[in-house]
Amino acid sequence: MDSLTKIEDLGKPRVVIVGGGFAGLELARELRHAPVQVVLIDRQNFHAFQPLLYQVATAGLAADSIVSPFRKILDEQENFYFRMAEVQSVDTEQHLLETSIGLLRYDYLVLATGATSNFFGDAQMQQHAITLKSVADAIELRNTVLANFEQALQLGDMEQLNSLLDFVIVGGGPTGVEIAGALSELRTHVFPRDYRELDFKQMDIHLIQSGPDLLKGMSKEASEKSLEYLKQFGVQVWLNRRVKSYDGYTVTLNTGEKLITRTLIWAAGVTGSPISGLRPESLLPSNRYQVDEYNQVAGYDNIFAIGDIAAMRSEAYPDGHPMVAQPALQQGKLLAHNITQHLAGRPRQPFRYDDKGSMATIGRNHAVADIKLFGREYHLGGLLAWLAWSIVHVLSLVSFRNRLAVFLNWSWSYLSYDKGLRSIIGGARISQPREQPHEEKAIT
């Protein structure tokens, strides 16, 4: 396009990166000194810090505190170009990307499209459940929770009331555990002051986990501690249960048990977000692209995949690396190095995942952390893990501005036991009950 042909680095090879999550953004930044033209394409004009989406959803942080516009992040990177567009497909023969704003030629194509919620084919679940994969999701969930309580004030029927006050979270991974914990903090410290007319003994938070342990993938210690903390905070944890169906009102478990809620939060699994045009053989059943240890997509010379969308299978990781920030960042960084090496005719370096451990926070002063240092693994809990989690997350934010905003917000919330972002700005999902008519009472 015109705006890309004007530039001085026209003769340089063009690296097109699809998706500006952890992997794509890291790659773009690490290519800053490389003799290439970097074009980043994303549907949004900002990078979102996904690990803190749950705090936006629970009124703890403003969306603006965890997002950074790409143009701002890469302001001073001479070889960087951003285009806000949707990718439709790729023509691997012609080296062309079809997008919502036209065709784009590439020399290297890097897929960093991430993952999306996996409903395992349950269309009814997909229609009624709320997910937490984007900033828009997080804002919708926050607004829905708040609107539920506003609506609950008008109801007398107990089942109707409970359908609004109760929350069901499906999936006991970090996201599920963190939302459950954050909702329980709202129940204890915030909502009773806001809604004095409601009885918060009626508000139940259910967390459903298909297996016997929470935080699968973390240590036994972390699983047990997180369960203990959640129980301490009054979250009802249902282990070894699966959701059979949800119609927007009644949740039916595989054991036959039923729960009533108008708000089911789906944190139960993800699947890759591939693009069309690549040969089907390159895509694994998990919807992730099969890549070699240089993140090269099987069957292509100049197409790479990094982050959640890439499955680099090895003995240690037979299904690919965990779909979290660390491998994404490390792959983005190494690919930048390898592209530079390749252009210079020097050998590339294979990827080795340096797992630094993982963490999840449950609530005020309560977190769990498995930290890997010098070949040993340490299991932390309680206040120490919570401090570690807080520090790591503040420092991992992309801009100094966001770090400051989050730090101030957290300090404030910690001291005041408050969560300040309780304005309903934007839409909420007001689901009507399925089985019984919603009965509004006269308020005279």
Least distance to a second copy from the beta carbon of 85, Å? 9
Least distance to a second copy from the beta carbon of 315, Å? 41
193, 281, 315, 316: residue in contact with a second copy (rule CB under 8 A):
193
Least distance to a second copy from the beta carbon of 103, Å? 5
Least distance to a second copy from the beta carbon of 136, Å? 8
Least distance to a second copy from the beta carbon of 427, Å? 9
442 binds a second copy (CB under 8 A): yes
Three-state SS annotation for the chain: CHHHHCCHHHHCCEEEEECCCHHHHHHHHHCCCCCCEEEEEECCCEEECHHHHHHHHCCCCCHHHHEEEHHHHCCCCCCEEEEECCEEEEECCCCEEEECCEEEECCEEEECCCEEECCCCCHHHHHHCECCCCHHHHHHHHHHHHHHHHHHCCCCCHHHHHHHHCEEEECCCHHHHHHHHHHHHHHHHHHHHHCCCCCHHHCCEEEECCCCCCCECECHHHHHHHHHHHHHCCCEEECCCCEEEECCCEEEECCCCEEECCCEEECCCEEECCCECCCHHHECCCCCEEECCCCEECCCCCEEECHHHEECCCCCCCCCCCCCHHHHHHHHHHHHHHHHHHHCCCCCCCCCCCCCEEEEEEECCEEEEEEEECCEEEEEEHHHHHHHHHHHHHHHCCCHHHHHHHHHHHHHHHHHCCCCCCCCCCCCCCCCCCCCCCCCCCCC
426, 432, 434, 435: residue in contact with a second copy (rule CB under 8 A):
426
Distance, CA of 180 to CA of 172 (rounded, Å): 9
Residue nearer to a second copy on the CB measure, 1 or 391 = 1
234, 277, 322, 420: residue in contact with a second copy (rule CB under 8 A):
420
Residue nearer to a second copy on the CB measure, 154 or 365 = 154
Least distance to a second copy from the beta carbon of 279, Å? 23
Least distance to a second copy from the beta carbon of 53, Å? 13
The window from 101-109, 172-180, 294-302, 328-336 that contacts a second copy (CB under 8 A) reads 101-109
Cα-Cα-Cα-Cα torsion 410, 416, 418, 419, nearest 10 degrees, comes to -20
Q: Tell me, residue by residue from 17 to 56, as one string, x for binding to a second copy by CB under 8 A and - for no binding.
A: ---------------------------xxx----------
Least distance to a second copy from the beta carbon of 405, Å? 8
Residue nearer to a second copy on the CB measure, 97 or 312 = 97
414 binds a second copy (CB under 8 A): no
**Phi, psi at residue 35, to the nearest 5°?**
-80, 60
By CB under 8 A, the residues from 386 to 405 that bind a second copy are: 401, 404
Least distance to a second copy from the beta carbon of 221, Å? 37
The window from 215-223, 269-277, 312-320, 435-443 that contacts a second copy (CB under 8 A) reads 435-443
Three-state SS annotation for 233-269: CCCEEECCCCEEEECCCEEEECCCCEEECCCEEECCC
Least distance to a second copy from the beta carbon of 232, Å? 26
Residue nearer to a second copy on the CB measure, 156 or 256 = 156
Residue nearer to a second copy on the CB measure, 382 or 420 = 420
What are the C-alpha distances in Å from 403 to residues 328, 369, 396, 408?
Answer: 21, 21, 8, 9
Quick one: how far is CA 25 from the chain centroid? 15
Q: Extract long-range pairs of 94-98: CB within 8 Å, 24+ residues apart.
A: 95/302, 97/16, 97/18, 97/41, 98/277
Residue nearer to a second copy on the CB measure, 98 or 355 = 98
By CB under 8 A, the residues from 131 to 170 that bind a second copy are: 135-136, 139, 146-147, 150, 153-154, 156
Least distance to a second copy from the beta carbon of 148, Å? 11
203 binds a second copy (CB under 8 A): no
408, 432, 435, 436: residue in contact with a second copy (rule CB under 8 A):
408
Least distance to a second copy from the beta carbon of 151, Å? 8
9, 13, 35, 96: residue in contact with a second copy (rule CB under 8 A):
96
Q: Which residues bind a second copy (CB under 8 A)?
A: 1-4, 6-7, 44-46, 62-65, 67-69, 71-72, 75, 81, 83-84, 96, 99, 101-105, 135-136, 139, 146-147, 150, 153-154, 156, 193-195, 197-198, 401, 404, 408, 412, 418, 420-426, 440-444
